[in-house]
């Protein structure tokens, strides 16, 4: 294992994200093996949540499939998940709440929990299977009132109606102006 991988691996053990990832993988019935870079790959995960080809907690990449099949379907997905392992090493327990907030923001802005999520963008939208190389999104986009996300929502503003002139001026006479020169 390279020095930088050892640093990531140690950080994720110390911040307890790797032990949590191993518990989640074990609870989901996944078979765990360790790769040369220190990442644990958990294959055969049985729970339906989270809805993803793979997800990472600490140094544990978990998938319902196998990593080989997933990599064949989405080339580069393993590297994408390793970037998430680095994000866990940097943020520790704060990764999950930050990820949830970023996903909610992205969903509201684009209709996708990934497209404007800075953590997914840093890990790579294309390698994560969220976008094509040209940037076009992959998968369903949540729509609201015909617009992606909540971009179609408009805040209601009070409508101010212009005042209609009265039939007569202040003294009951029609016409006239205040700026001088309107009378006889």
Higher model confidence: residue 153 or residue 62?
A: 62
Supply the pTM of this predicted model.
0.72
Residue 13 in domain: yes
Q: Dump pLDDT digits (tens) for 22-64.
A: 999 999 999 999 999 999 999 999 998 887 889 999 999 999 9
pLDDT reported for residue 143: 58
Residue 155 in domain: no
What is the rounded distance in angstroms from the CA atom of residue 76 to the CA atom of residue 9? 20
What is the rounded distance in angstroms from the CA atom of residue 109 to the CA atom of residue 152? 10
Residue 36 in domain: yes
Domain residue limits at 75: 3-148
- DSSP label at residue 55: E
Please determine, for residue 183, whether its predicted confidence score (pLDDT) is greater than 70. no
Residue 15 in domain: yes
Residue 182 in domain: no
Residue 108 in domain: yes
- Split into its structural domains, the chain has a count of 1
What is the rounded distance in angstroms from the CA atom of residue 146 to the CA atom of residue 182? 53
Please determine, for residue 81, whether its predicted confidence score (pLDDT) is greater than 90. yes
């Amino acid at each position: 294992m390279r020095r930088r991988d050892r640093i990531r691996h140690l950080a994720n053990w110390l911040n307890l994200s790797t032990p949590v990832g191993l518990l989640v993988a074990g609870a989901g019935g996944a078979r765990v093996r360790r790769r040369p870079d220190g990442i644990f790959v958990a294959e055969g995960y049985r729970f339906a949540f989270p809805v993803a080809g793979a997800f990472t907690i600490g140094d544990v990449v978990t998938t319902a499939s196998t990593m080989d099949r997933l990599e064949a379907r989405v080339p580069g997905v393993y590297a994408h998940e390793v970037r998430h392992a680095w994000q866990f090493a940097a943020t520790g327990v704060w990764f999950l709440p930050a990820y949830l907030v970023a996903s909610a923001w992205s969903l509201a802005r684009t209709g996708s929990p990934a497209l404007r999520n800075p953590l997914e963008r840093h890990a790579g939208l294309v390698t994560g299977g969220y976008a094509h190389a040209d940037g076009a999104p992959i998968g369903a986009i949540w729509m609201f009132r015909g617009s992606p996300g909540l971009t179609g929502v408009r805040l209601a503003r009070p409508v101010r109606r212009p005042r209609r002139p009265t039939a007569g001026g202040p003294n009951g006479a029609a016409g006239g102006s205040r700026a001088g020169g309107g009378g006889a």
